[in-house]
Amino acid sequence: MLVVAYDNRSEFEIEDAMLEEIEDAMVRTLLHQEIGVECEVSFSFVKAEEIKNLNAEYRGIDVVTDVLSFPMYEDFINNRTTIIKENPFLPLLLGDIVICVQQAKTQAAEYGNTLTRELCYLSVHSVLHLLGYDHMEDDEKSEMRIIEKDLMGDD
């Protein structure tokens, strides 16, 4: 269902158990969204400086952020039938996810979460972006949060 190409350029060791939970969270997201083909995601763990530079370059925001998503397709969720039919090659590359582990660790402490739980949440959030979800408008943000809470088991 999902092929993940991991790259760790952060200063933190990412344990296999963490990777398994992250991958499970991403698979749950794809199943929830009824994506019925094998998919691939490129996944990088990076240092704060690298994600800050990427954020400045691609979003024009010169600050450290927790996660960036680089979708392969615009609005995949509304065009998935066409995208899948036009791309006979599997796995279907959805895009790239870049997570700053240092920022995730800070947020985990702020929210009272484990680092693994925070990385899983950021992964779910990012896969939703790869599938065309956004949170620029209040209704979009609300829809995304409902899905994230459902997938993460939050009440």
The tokens for 108 are 């985990």
74: left (phi over 0), alpha (psi -120 to 50) or beta: beta
State the pLDDT at residue 84. 85
CA–CA distance, 91 with 77 (Å, rounded to integer):
17
* Annotated binding-site residue? 32: no
pLDDT at 154 over 80: no
pLDDT above 90 (res 15): yes
Domains of the chain with bracketed CATH: 2-152 (3.40.390.30)
**Residue 102 pLDDT exceeds 70:** yes
129 known member of a binding site: yes
More confident residue, 50 or 134: 50
Residue 85, pLDDT above cutoff 90: no
Task: Name the residue among 90, 93, 91 with its Cα closest to residue 76.
Answer: 93
135 labelled as ligand-binding? Answer: yes
Higher pLDDT, 111 or 81: 111
> For position 21, what pLDDT does the model report?
97
> In percent, how much of the chain has pLDDT > 90?
77
**Which stretch of 27-36, 46-55, 61-70, 100-109 has the lowest confidence by average pLDDT?**
27-36
**pLDDT of residue 155 exceeding 70:** no
Instruction: Evaluate if residue 23 carries a pLDDT over 80.
Output: yes
